[in-house]
Structure 1
Amino acid sequence: MIVINVHGRLAHQPELKILGNGGAVCEFRLLSSRFAKGEEVTEAVTFFCFDGEAEKFCETAEKGQLISASGTQETSSYTDAAGVKKSFTKYRMTWHAKGARPRSSHPVAQGSDGTGSQRPTSDRYGAGRQAAGNTRMNGAGASRSGFAQGQQSTRPPQQGRDEGASHSQERRASHPGAGESSSGNDGFADFDDVTGFV
């Protein structure tokens, strides 16, 4: 048994073919380059697999992707239309692992951070406006609350107002005419000299 291990890129997009017996087969080539006498030489190896493995490989692999594969060698021969006998060698895949995909298959969207993920956008002014609005609302509520409390705390009780009214009546009774102004003196009767007020 001849076993081969290959690490290369897919030469084409793998395709699934349906066989006459109802089965499925997938053939693909792996390319690997080397330098010989200062020139680049590309080697190609053909692998194949059947049925469920073939379907899965065709669905998940991509042209240009790095593939590591192992397989056993199988050589077949045929006679062409001119009567010439020809042979070819392929490898039945026994193991594989998929590597990096080509860069062209990973476009970077505009506005992203270069890793393919979209950067979240934020309204820095909207947050400030919202905070300012909350401050104004809270401040207005506090002022109204403080004003209401001030009114409540400075408002004299009913009993105090009644007592104040009775004291005022007593003062008026003991000093008649105090605090009242007649049409003749305009309220300046208690002052000796009113010229400074005219």
Structure 2
Amino acid sequence: MTSQLNTFNYRHFVPNLTMGAPVIKSLRKHTNAYLDCHLMVTNPLDYVEPLGDAGASGFTFHVEVSRENWPELVKKIKSKGMRPGVSLRPGTPIEEVYPLVEGENPVEMVLVMTVEPGFGGQKFMPEMMEKVRVLRAKYPSLDIEVDGGLGPSTIDMAASAGANCIVAGSSVFGSPEPAQVILHMRKSVEDVQNSN
């Protein structure tokens, strides 16, 4: 398991779009960082090739869409050299991701949304940590990511529940000391991992 703090979001089943493949391609020229793309789109299959060609590292789609072509989607993501992940909204039962984790061609990460997708700056939903705990107990080596309302005051809850990949936006970019916020969150996740 690894900790990571990089992410880019596509949002089409929500009303806004954050960054596209051209931005990923531009960033890839300047970094070897893990570029984790979270797509909140109704047809993620359309984005696999452009993001893979741009140099994305991870491709996370929502369990709520593309049910009819999950196996094809995961296979195509892997064929483009990206790690497949699946995300779920707060109202979606955790059991819905099990077929994707346990399938013949499984995803490698589950992203638990800790806010409703669509807009930054929302309040962290601590009740979502039960989903993280259930996933960690069922799949001890799975990468589990949390996204939404993560910052210095919520990171310990997420790390203790079993999250090892953290997405943080407002708490980092809204801080006068973003590097300190990142270091604090990374240390929290690493301390929990090292104690297990």
TM-score by length of 1: 0.18
Quick check: which one's strand share is greater? 1
**Larger Cα-atom Rg:** 1
Higher helix share: 2
TM-score (norm 2): 0.18
